[in-house]
Amino acid sequence: MADAPKEKTRPEKLDTDTPRPDTLEPVSPDTEKGVSPKADAPDRSDAAHDGDDREVVIQVRGLKNQFGSQVVHENLDLDVYRGEVLGIVGGSGTGKSVLLRSIVGLNTPAEGDIEVFGQNLRKLPDEQRRAVETRWGVLFQEGALFSGLTVAQNIQVPMREHLHLPQDLMDQIAAVKLGLVGLPQEAGAKFPSELSGGMKKRAGLARALALDPEIVFLDEPTAGLDPIGASAFDQLILQLKDTMGLTVFMVTHDLDSLHAICDRIAVLAEKRVLVEGSMKDMLKQDHPWIREYFHGPRARAATDAWGDKADEKAKAAR
């Protein structure tokens, strides 16, 4: 089996951010900013709507990503609609994180067009690109909190980067965001190393929500959490989606999350989005990886637990 879904209870490397109080360096290169992709893609100004009445907020066409001789994506197309929770699944190393990073401009594709809110970020001048960047938030795979900053300071990083606000206002906003993700106010003064895995994920989410984004990108948000913590995190995402009208782009291995909160699923395989659709659509697929993933023993447990919910969701998505 190439890439069985991970056990939720198996701890992931959540504690890589050992305390470094003397530095403001990001723990993970994921948080690096300032990648300025080249402006050489053709214009696709007709791209905001795609023939039906749902608004396309992210449109990927003909994406190619290559590292040395390793082609990760080729001819990858994907649409993400406003207000949906889209689950991205695929075997380990199929390029889920690279796809996410390409969309948010941290990875420069070899070929293809990516538009977010109808704008091709590679073609935008710096200032306009930065303005678009304030309209999304990202929770990276390892949480990627700055270990030398408190949780409240972490939440304020995007505000410092993009807004000019007095400190007391930023403190107030950080307090609101803590409440939003279900963290106690005391957590604001803690360093990431003092938090549990679940609390770190919530703190990362609070930072992703700092600028009241329209889209949040989540890379394996429930990996490493115990089933109860994972389920609570799922419910939080669902609640935020409903109350804030968020669009959620979620890379996940978690079949429970797929059942519980995803409106649509896109499968990365063979270097592209091989299929996309509802859970019900996934269950009909014959592709070996997809069959193994959605019909394996863990899938059966998740499906039994959710019972008819998959059917209901499939209907609701129509």
Ligand X SMILES: Nc1ncnc2c1ncn2[C@@H]1O[C@H](COP(=O)(O)OP(=O)(O)O)[C@@H](O)[C@H]1O
Question: What's the rounded Cα separation, in Å, for the pair 255 and 300?
Answer: 10
Nearer to ligand X, 73 or 298 (CB): 73
Q: Which does 172 bind (CB under 5 to 8 A by kind): ligand X, Mg ion, none?
A: none
Nearer to Mg ion, 28 or 303 (CB): 28
Map residues 70-109 to x or -, x wherever contact with ligand X holds by CB under 6 A.
Answer: --x-----------------x-xxxxxxx-----------
Copy the structure tokens of residue 47: 């791209």
Nearer to Mg ion, 142 or 256 (CB): 142
Q: Least distance from C-beta 149 to ligand X, angstroms?
A: 25
Nearer to ligand X, 181 or 290 (CB): 290
Binding residue for Mg ion (CB under 5 A) from 59, 65, 97, 278? 97
Q: Least distance from C-beta 299 to ligand X, angstroms?
A: 19
For residue 125, what is the DSSP state?
-
* Distance from chain centroid for Cα 255: 16
- Residue 200 class from Cβ within 10 Å (0-12 exposed, 13-18 middle, 19+ buried)? buried
Nearest partner of 221 among 197, 196, 245, judged by Cα: 197
Phi and psi (nearest 5°) for 137? -135, 150
- Residue 248 class from Cβ within 10 Å (0-12 exposed, 13-18 middle, 19+ buried)? buried
- Sequence letter at residue 109: P
For residue 4, what is the DSSP state?
P
Q: Applying CB under 5 A, what is the total number of residues that bind Mg ion?
A: 2
Question: What's the rounded Cα separation, in Å, for the pair 228 and 9?
Answer: 10
Q: Does 67 bind ligand X (CB under 6 A)?
A: yes
Q: Least distance from C-beta 156 to Mg ion, angstroms?
A: 27
Nearer to Mg ion, 201 or 313 (CB): 201
Map residues 26-65 to x or -, x wherever contact with ligand X holds by CB under 6 A.
Answer: ----------------------------------------
Nearest partner of 278 among 307, 234, 312, 240, judged by Cα: 312
Interface stretch with Mg ion, choices 90-98, 126-134, 161-169, 283-291 (CB under 5 A): 90-98
Nearer to ligand X, 177 or 201 (CB): 201
Q: Which does 98 bind (CB under 5 to 8 A by kind): Mg ion, ligand X, none?
A: ligand X
Q: Least distance from C-beta 274 to ligand X, angstroms?
A: 13
Q: Which does 177 bind (CB under 5 to 8 A by kind): Mg ion, ligand X, none?
A: none
48 contacts: CB under 8 Å, gap ≥ 6: 55, 56, 59, 115, 117, 118
Question: What's the rounded Cα separation, in Å, for the pair 81 and 49?
Answer: 10
Nearer to Mg ion, 98 or 152 (CB): 98
For residue 69, what is the DSSP state?
T
Q: Least distance from C-beta 91 to ligand X, angstroms?
A: 7
Copy the structure tokens of residue 55: 């608004």
Kindly list the residues in this chain that would bind Mg ion in the complex (CB under 5 A). 96-97
Kindly list the residues in this chain that would bind ligand X in the complex (CB under 6 A). 67, 72, 90, 92-98
